[in-house]
Amino acid sequence: MNDDVVPDRGVWYRVESGSAASTVRRAAERLGAQLDLGDARTADLAIVAAELTSNLVKHADDGVLLLRPVRRDGEAGVELVALDTGPGMADLTASSQDGHSTVGTLGIGLGAIVRQASWFDGYSRPERGTVLAVQVWPKPGGHERPWVGALSRPLAGESVSGDGYAWRIVEGRRQVLVCDGLGHGPLASAATDAALDAFRKAPAGAPSTVVAHLHRSMSHTRGAALAVAEPDPSAGVLRYSGLGNISAAVIGADGKRRGLVSLPGIAGHQRPSVRQYDYPFEADALLVMHSDGVVDRWQFADYPGLADRSPLVVAATVLRDAGTRRDDACVLAVRAWS
């Protein structure tokens, strides 16, 4: 892969030294220029990248950062997600204020990130590490809170992931997809790319109709496990249809998980039985979907306050703690808010 090209699913960087931090900053600057952020916002993006990576070098254990383009309503921006398992922070809000420092520096890092960002969110717990998510758009501020967030990570040693995700709004329906191409590497990635393309082009319809369409569209690939969900908070319902080993759960206000049903099958190959199931999905509910590269033993009770964070921070936290390096991994989260 050309190092100057950042795919939509992004590039992961392990940040353990100043040289790695410089690499991320330069990659962010190149991406900002490619997306025509403008000189001023590209400079702001460079500050965000430098501060995020500096924090990982100074404070983090196992610090990694995802850099990727994001698009909405014909506009392009840059998103960075930093994950670590370091000492964490008891009060992320206080730590985001200028002058707060734990290592004798000026304490302007997180404050600078918040000031330059168009959108910022994070989650941190003492002794559990920190997740920070930042978006930089051509114009600062003014972006609505996202209803969905997702990220995928390749198997250790691979440059591409066979897991992927997508979302769309078609004829008023909000729909999301999680896909796990069989195996890993380029052929698995190609199967998932075919599913994502077919999903974006699929006619409006219920999740079961969309899954059947994806199955028909993927016969030229090695196949995939996949699931489509349609959250409808106004009706208090989540419509869901899945094939293969995609895990999904609705988390209610009490933090309890209700698992969703995916049927056996391989989209694109085995002739599957496609069914749709409806579940309660109230205004305070959260949907989390993930591939089998994420160990399905996480519990929201272990993360006080996480359910109040953005879907992207929820997904990133689950991926950090439950994702395995022995397989591609993908997590997607949806909030019931409109």
> Could you report the per-residue pLDDT of 138-168, keeping only the tens digit for each?
987 656 778 999 999 999 888 899 999 999 9
Distance CA 282, CA 188 (A): 35
Q: Once rounded to an integer, what is the mean pLDDT over residues 230-257?
A: 93
Q: Once rounded to an integer, what is the mean pLDDT over residues 175-179?
A: 98
pLDDT value at residue 106: 31
pTM (2 d.p.):
0.91
With helix as H, strand as E and coil as C, how does 272-325 read? CCCCCEEEECCCCCEEEEECCCECCCCCHHHCCCHHHCCHHHHHHHHHHHHECC
- pLDDT tens for 265-286 read 999 987 778 999 999 998 889 9
Q: Once rounded to an integer, what is the mean pLDDT over residues 196-203?
A: 96
Q: Bin 158: left if φ > 0, else alpha if -120 < ψ < 50, else beta.
A: beta
Distance CA 306, CA 197 (A): 32
- pLDDT tens for 75-129 read 899 999 999 998 888 767 655 555 444 443 334 468 889 899 999 999 999 988 9
Q: Say whether 254 sits in a helix, a strand or coil.
A: coil
pLDDT value at residue 101: 47
Q: Once rounded to an integer, what is the mean pLDDT over residues 216-222?
A: 95
Q: Which two tokens stand for residue 107?
A: 């304490």
pLDDT value at residue 4: 45
Contact 97, 86 (CB under 8 A): no
Contact 163, 179 (CB under 8 A): yes
Mean residue pLDDT of the chain comes to: 89
- Of 71-75, 228-232, 245-249, the one with minimum mean pLDDT is 71-75
Distance CA 214, CA 38 (A): 38
Contact 243, 227 (CB under 8 A): yes
pLDDT value at residue 210: 97
Q: Which of 253, 247, 246 is nearest to 336 (CA)?
A: 253
Does the pLDDT at position 320 exceed 60? yes
Distance CA 52, CA 66 (A): 11
- Token pair 């758009």 in the structure block, residue: 137
Binned at pLDDT 50, 70 and 90, residue 215 comes out as: very high
Distance CA 229, CA 239 (A): 6
Q: Which of 122, 134, 145, 148 is nearest to 77 (CA)?
A: 134
Distance CA 190, CA 57 (A): 35
- pLDDT tens for 12-43 read 999 988 888 899 999 999 999 999 999 999 99
330 contacts: CB under 8 Å, gap ≥ 6: 150, 151, 152, 153, 161, 163, 164, 165, 178, 179, 180, 290, 291, 293, 294, 319
